[in-house]
Structure 1
Amino acid sequence: MTPLNTPHLAALHLAADQKSAQVTDWSGRIGWIVGLLLFIALVYWLMREGWKWRGTLQSDLPELLGAPAEPGTARLSMRGRYHGSTTAGQWLDRIVAHGLGTRSRAEVTLTDAGVDVVRPGAKDFFIPTAQLREARLDKGIAGKVLTEGGLLIVTWQHGDKLIDSGFRSDHAAEQSAWVEAINSMKHPVTTEGTAQ
Structure 2
Amino acid sequence: MRVEIWSDIACPWCYIGKARFEKGLAGFAHRDEVEVVHRSFELDPRLTKGETGTVIDMLAAKTGRTRAEAREMEEHVASNARSEGLGYRVDGRDYGSTFDIHRVLHLAKVRGRQDTLLDLVYRANFAEERSVFDVDTLVGLAVEAGLEDAEVRGVLADPDAYAAEVRADQREAAELGASGVPFFVLDRRYGVSGGQPAEVFTQALEQAWDSRTQAGAGA
Of structures 1 and 2, the one scoring higher in RCO (CA 8 A, sep 6+) is 2
Q: Could you tell me the TM-score, scaled by structure 1's length?
A: 0.20
Higher strand share: 1
| Larger gyration radius, structure 1 or structure 2 | 1
More helix by share: 2
TM-score (norm 2): 0.19
